[in-house]
Amino acid sequence: MKKIVILLFAGLSACTWSGPNKSENTKDFTIPETTINQLIDSFRIQKEIPDLGRLEKGVRHIASLWSRNDGTIDDFVMFCNKNVIKDEAKRLLFFDKVSKYLESLYGHFNKITLDLKENVDLENGPMLDTDEDFSSYAVGSHLLSDMYSNKIAFKIGLNFPYYSLTEKDNFSHSISRKEWAMVRLGDIFVSRVPAELEQAAAKSVNEADIYISSYNIMMGKILNEKGEALFPEKMVLLSHWNLRDEIKANYGNSSLGNEKQELLYRIMERIVSQEIPENVINNPKFQWAPISNKVFENGKEIPSKSEPNNRYQQIINNYKAEKAIDNFSPELNTFISRKFSGEMEISLSEVEALFDEYLRSPQLAKIGMIIKHRLGRDLRPFDIWYDGFKTRSSISPEVLNRQTVNRYPNSDAFKSDMPRILMNLGWSKDRSLFLADKITVDAARGSGHAWGAGMRGEKSHLRTRIQSAGMDYKGYNIAIHEFGHTIEQTNSLYNIDYFLLNGVPNTAFTEALAFIFQSRDLPLLGIEQKLKNQEQLKTLDAGWSLMEIMGVGLVDIRIWKWLYAHPESTAAELNIAVQNITKDVWNTYYSEIFGVKDQLILGIYSHMISNPLYLAAYSYGQIIEFQIEEHLIEKDFSSEIDRIYQQGKLTPQRWMEGAVGSKISIKPILNKIDKAIQ
């Protein structure tokens, strides 16, 4: 998972830069429409204005952000007359200088944020309260307040206005890369959020992240209904990532695999419903039988209390923090619109329509029948994570763990092996050393993530969980996924022509490369197993995986829709609502395939707690991954990956057309699923 750097400062994405203190940004002051029209008319008669339409957009945009403390109406008119850049050469010079300043600001604040979060994110020993305090501090939140106060934000907005998603989609294909970069400069100052609200949002997400990163289940203490412990004594699994991956790993276990999966599934249900006993979370003292939900100490059953809706209180906290920001975002006035139309640059209606179309496709039921036949039993809800199409599913977890633990006893060992991995994927030795040099590997407290550099000269951080004995297969699999993220982050920063185009259109595009890397994890270990119909199996796996992640993405979206419809809801009420939402999504799209109704498993994803409205990016990431993989057939892998990911932050559809020659679509994967089934 790529780390969303909302804690850095609220300007890294298009719609969340901070503004002045709340008292300075009240909307009891508005620039009259008559003043705006008169000002635009005065510019219209000045022949030296090269692009009146652009200037009109700039005037209207900064008028929407101007507050009483910025000056009077006459001051606004004087500001526009004084600061409009009429000479195009000077405007370009202004752009170049601002780009350099912003790279320095982004980069250094990113580095400070990494330093402040280090003891929370990394396995650095005991965590103190002060570690949490510093990690939640949004270091740049007041910087942007100053940029409004000193009028830099208004100078930029006037001469480099904001364009809506619809306008961007309608740009001519002839627009140059520098013009795209200037559009991205216009994306920065879209809202004027009080610094204290940005700090509150950063604190809320950070607290949710800490809650999730400490949500461990002591698997050696888990009992079946016979009182037997089936898992290794020292096994500790983080929810939800490690629990899910342990389900996947046990498709290769012919003896106890299915019984283990049923226990893991029941644990997940207890977490979603908040029936999990509070004293078994991250606590090795007690034994727990999740099916009967009984807790034992020294072999004797003891009374226990359920977790008191902590999971849902984290969501409530995130919602309240974001809802407070809505009034200060005139262009994108809900968190939902900021995430989709703003950050993803794909409208919510388009996302929901695509997900609905795919989840209703008849091909999915046919894949389900194939899985049922391969398992020799009816499907269970946890089979949304069926892993039997992959080569590794025929290899026992113990064999894979031995290989990875021996090869990677610590993070330094993985770091040292990165050039070899890249050369194995086709990069030259020099290029491999260049890319690997720009990446640091850390042992994470949580499941793992990638955190990109904010400026050239700094490094991306690849983080994965490493047990005391070494990196087990789960940690390795995550590390390869995160390696893909860091290769994107390096390519789209160090090899980009304009800093303001660094990155990708949205997180789905970096997820796509992470998935592409992750699918090659076994060959990178030297395990090559050629299976009959391997290409068809890979397609079926992709189709089934996409079905799973689209469902949880819809649950995430519907949770936030419900929150906006019920703004005063409590954590207990949200708990009930989430259970109803997960059951409804399951019954609509999954119940006929699995033969069972009213399941909660789609609500287990930790992203809903610590990274809200991120899950939809995974679905788009898998669609994009599939289209890129199809494009890469019979092409040089490394050179194409470099070319594709050096396009930078275009709009999603424009980027995709440049990458593979067509827009984002589910039709290619559905067509290939049909062929694979046949």
User: pLDDT of 176-188, one tens digit each?
Assistant: 999 999 999 999 9
Across the chain, mean pLDDT equals 91
Asked if 206 contacts 136 with a C-beta cutoff of 8 angstroms, the reply is yes
Residues lower than pLDDT 50 in the chain: 3-26
DSSP letter for each residue of 499-561: GGG-S-SSHHHHHHHHHHHHTTHHHHTT-----TTHHHHHHHHHHHHHHHHHHHHHHHHHHHH
The residues pairing with 662 across neighbouring beta strands, listed in sequence order, are: none
Select from 618, 507, 612, 610 the least CA-distant residue to 135. 610
pLDDT per position as a tens digit, 133-162:
888 887 876 777 789 999 999 999 999 999
How open is the CA angle 475-480-485, to the nearest 5 degrees?
120
Domain boundaries, the chain: 18-199, 215-273+275-308, 345-387+532-635+648-677, 396-524
- pLDDT at site 29: 78
Q: How much is the pLDDT for 82?
A: 96
Q: Assess contact for 16 and 10: CB atoms under 8 A.
A: yes
Q: Are the C-beta atoms of residues 159 and 79 closer than 8 Å to each other?
A: no
Return the percent helix, strand and coil in the chain, to nearest 5. 60, 5, 30
Q: What is the DSSP letter of 432?
A: H
Asked if residue 138 lies in contact with residue 8, where contact means CB atoms within 8 angstroms, the answer is yes
Listed in sequence order, the residues at least 6 apart from 456 whose beta carbon sits closer than 8 Å to its beta carbon are 103, 107, 493, 494
Q: Which two tokens stand for residue 461?
A: 């951080």
At 233, the amino acid letter reads: E
The pLDDT of residue 132 is: 84
Question: What contacts 554, CB < 8 A, 6 or more positions away?
Answer: 352, 355, 359, 585
CB-count exposure of residue 49 (10 Å: 0-12, 13-18, 19+): middle
Dist. CA 569–CA 574, nearest whole Å: 7
Q: How far apart are CA 389 and CA 383, in angstroms?
A: 12
